[in-house]
Amino acid sequence: MNSVQGLLANLSTTSPILTAAVTLAVLVLYLLAIRSGPDWTTYPITSLASLLIVPHVYTYDAALLLLTCWLLMHSARARLPRLTAAYDSSPAPFLFSLADKPYSIVAFLSTAALFLAATAESLGLLPPAPPRPTRVSRNASPPTSSPATPAADPG
């Protein structure tokens, strides 16, 4: 499962104090990111925080992350949110949830990494990625200068 409770179940821990502490940490990060981040980060961070906090989250609930991943891949300035969103939009982390302990923790870790990357992007903690190079078509010919046309003689 992609929730805090799923993490603790994978670690064979059912401590209510630890569950409350991790849930509170997610909630504090969520509130900080929503309060000071740009508007476009509201949906990604809200959907990620809700998946991490809610106790009954199943693997198919991660389909909510598709729009989150698309928003982060398109709008994030830094490279880390783009990379974690690309990884989370693939089936790789969720195939691990089919495995038994301890490998099923990978789905939670990928969701948590995406939440932390989106939060860091929202808070402006990550350096912007270098500009993408412009593509030049191989078939494009270089610009040619046109020969100077002589001025018409009015005479």
Q: What is the pTM of this model?
A: 0.81
Q: Residue type for 116, please?
A: L
What is the token pair recorded at 46?
């809200």
Residues 6+ apart with CB under 8 A from 25: none
Q: Residue type for 28, please?
A: V
* Res 100: pLDDT: 83
Measured over all CA atoms, what is the biggest interatomic distance in the chain, rounded to whole angstroms?
101
How many Å apart are CA 35 and CA 134, to the nearest integer? 35
Helix and strand numbers (H, E) in the chain are 7, 0
Domain boundaries, the chain: 4-123
Q: For every one of its 155 residues, what pLDDT tens digit does the chain have, with 9 covering 90 and above?
A: 688 988 888 888 889 999 999 999 999 999 999 998 999 999 999 999 999 998 877 777 888 899 999 999 999 999 999 999 999 999 998 888 888 888 888 988 999 999 999 999 999 999 998 887 777 767 766 666 655 566 666 65
